[in-house]
Structure 1
């Protein structure tokens, strides 16, 4: 039987949504081990002078509980 825990993590990037998600995984993995999946709950952008300047994601990171 597996036991999983879910935490909400926000991420951002100046390049893309994909990069923002990768930043979430990179940063979360510094303190969270055994990450199984990332659910993207929300996506948004910051706009300046009619151009996208930042991509933001709200994610749920799912990881296994280690014995």
Structure 2
């Protein structure tokens, strides 16, 4: 069997500003201004719970800009 060499190019990494939060940004796009985007009820409920948990200090959920940018 032939050896396969895999090269990973790290120079294609996309960097975002430290205050970038796509979850909250997407939530605001269909909640504010009468809803720029139309989403299904399940998506709406999921994001509503996620945002509530992210802003609750007693919740285990949070958004890390550093880790989100890494992925």
Q: Same fold (TM over 0.5)?
A: no
TM tier relative to shorter chain? under 0.3
* Larger-gyration structure (1/2): 2
Indicate the structure whose relative CO is greater, using CA pairs within 8 Å and at least 6 residues apart: 1
More helix by share: 2
TM-score (norm 1): 0.28
